[in-house]
Amino acid sequence: MNIHLLAAVAIGGSLGSVARYLVAIGAARLVGTGFPWGTLVINIVGSFLIGVFAESFALTWNVSQTMRVFLTVGICGGFTTFSTFSLDAIVLMQRGELWPAAAYIAASVALSILALVGGLYLVRAFAV
């Protein structure tokens, strides 16, 4: 086991988690807590970032494995959160808000995938 990779994941995960917490608090202050906007935005942005990183690593950005792990597993892994997404969806359902829950689930999945694709294409556009 490589201690440098473990440290990269731990440090990146810490930074990503703090960023997630700050975005969630900011979203709650801006738009309230009735709908999980913070988690939705976090997962979309995180998907975009991991798309940018993955395509950058594949096409143009020659960085160490430690840096790759730091950015993707660490920062993006700590920033995005499927478990919170799942909990938010269930909370909406338990409150009887089935349409908002369905919209949240659909938007989270579709927009996160689109954001990842957007990240891939952004890097491809500038890699020429």
Q: Are 38 and 24 in contact (CB under 8 A)?
A: yes
Compute the average pLDDT of residues 60-70: 94
- A 10 A CB-CB count for 64 gives 11
- Whole-model pTM: value is 0.82
Dihedral (C-alpha) 106, 31, 33, 48: value to the nearest 10 degrees? Answer: 40
* Domain total of the chain: 1
- pLDDT band at residue 2, thresholds of 50, 70 and 90? very high
Angle at 99 between CA 97 and CA 102, to 5 degrees: 105
pLDDT tens per residue, range 26-54: 999 999 999 999 999 999 999 999 999 99
User: Could you list the residue range(s) of the whole structural domain that residue 38 is in?
Assistant: 3-126
Q: 87: which 2 tokens?
A: 């909990």
Scan for tokens 């940018």, then name that residue.
52
Residue 45, pLDDT score = 93
DSSP states of 41-109 = HHHHHHHHHHHHHHHHHHHT----HHHHHIIIIIIIHHH--HHHHHHHHHHHHHTT-HHHHHHHHHHHH
Residue 32, pLDDT score = 96
For residues 68 and 10, give the distance between their C-alpha atoms in angstroms, rounded to a whole number. 13
The HSE-up count of residue 47 (CA atoms within 13 Å, CB side) is 20
